[in-house]
Amino acid sequence: MSISIILVDDHPLFRTGLSHLIGAHGEGISVVGQFSGIGSVLDWLNNGNSTDVALLDRNLRDEDGLDLVPELKRRGIKVIMLTVAEEAHEVREAVDLGVDGYVLKTSDPEQIIQAIYAVTLGTGLRRFPVMDESMQGKLAPDASSKLSSREMEIVGLVALGMSNKAIGVRLGLSDNTVRNHLRSILEKLGLDNRVQVATFALKHGIAGKPGGAP
């Protein structure tokens, strides 16, 4: 599978570094464009170009990156916001506009790669990862120690946006067994839904990888 990416950030050094990291860590992922502002992105798109995913900084020079989101979504492009902030109200604004993911610039490269895979492959996991008020203070640092090895596998596959049926096929389990495992995972981690499980996986580096075991 090939995934095309554009980077929209007004810091050339950050764009260059992120492009190199994606090239080194993201199998099947290629950066097809780098832009410093909204106007240059629109010019590129209007010239007949497109992409699968846009990694978009909200705080562009004299511009709010969120202003670009409706046009990207209209063209069927997945959007992951890159930011230095994780204020709940900022996350909510992004989610309300249809942003598919929200990743801190301080995240490990693997977390960004997993977010790209998740929003591209995800079915029903459209807002990923979202660090909103429902996640704040809910995850203890050692929370993953509460999970069995099987539950850890399932958490990793949930982070890729896989349905219960797809997880069952991958692991040789029935849909009902997967549902029971998910119910146990939510209870052990004190979470409410699959989106929070996916965010947990990214924060703790246990997200699975497409085509292979977590």
Which pLDDT does position 147 carry in this prediction? 83
Per-residue pLDDT of the chain (214 residues; tens, 9 = 90+): 689 999 999 999 989 998 988 888 767 889 999 999 999 999 999 999 999 999 999 888 888 898 999 999 999 999 998 877 655 566 667 777 888 887 777 777 777 887 888 788 753 334 444 433 333 333 334 455 778 888 888 988 887 778 888 899 989 999 899 999 999 998 888 887 787 787 777 666 666 544 444 4
Q: Round to whole Å and give the CA distance between 116 and 163.
A: 17
**In the structure encoding, which two tokens stand for residue 152, read together?**
């850890």
Neighbours of 9 (CB within 10 A): 24
**Residue matched to tokens 């562009």:** 60
CATH number of 143-203: 1.10.10.10
Write the pLDDT tens digit of every residue in 143-170: 557 788 888 889 888 877 788 888 999 8
State in words which class domain 3-121 has.
alpha beta
Q: What is the pLDDT of residue 195?
A: 76
List the one residue out of 10, 41, 5 whose CA is nearest residue 22: 5
Phi then psi for residue 78, to 5 deg, are -70, 145
Q: What are 30-58's pLDDT values in tens digits? A: 999 999 999 999 999 999 999 999 999 98
Domain residue spans of the chain: 3-121, 143-203
From CA 111, how far away is CA 106, in angstroms rounded?
A: 10
Q: Locate all alpha helices (DSSP H) within 79-129, ordered by sequence.
A: 88-96, 109-121
Q: What's the pLDDT at 214?
A: 42
CA 60 – CA 177 distance, rounded (Å): 46
pLDDT of residue 1: 66
